């Protein structure tokens, strides 16, 4: 399976578990449709944040330029 496959599987499992738990908690205080919408909106915001982080990693912005130092 590999390390990345295992990490993805664990993240998907925890994501489903935490999403279901969040909906259950929200349904205690909100109507069903509003609770599902609120959890979906929170998940969408987290997805957008991870997409921004991934774009920063891919583009290499903010990284110091690699230079060779004599004697190393």
Q: Rounded to 5 degrees, what angle do the CA atoms 29, 31, 37 make?
A: 100
Please report, for the chain, the start and end positions of each structural domain, with discontinuous segments joined by +: 3-59
Note the residue count of the chain.
72
pLDDT band at 72 (very low <50, low <70, confident <90, very high): low
Taking only the tens place, the pLDDT of each residue in 25-55 is 999 999 999 999 999 999 999 999 999 998 9
With a CB cutoff of 8 Å and minimum separation 6, the contacts of 27 are 35
Given a contact cutoff of 8 angstroms between Cβ atoms, the answer to whether 44 and 68 are in contact is no
């Amino acid at each position: 399976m590999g390390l990345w496959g295992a990490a993805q599987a664990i993240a998907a499992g925890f994501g489903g578990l935490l999403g279901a738990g969040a909906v259950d908690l929200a349904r205690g205080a909100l109507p069903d449709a509003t609770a599902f919408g609120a959890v979906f909106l929170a998940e969408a915001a987290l997805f957008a944040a991870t997409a921004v982080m991934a774009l920063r990693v891919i583009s290499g912005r903010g990284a110091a330029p690699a230079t060779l130092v004599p004697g190393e």
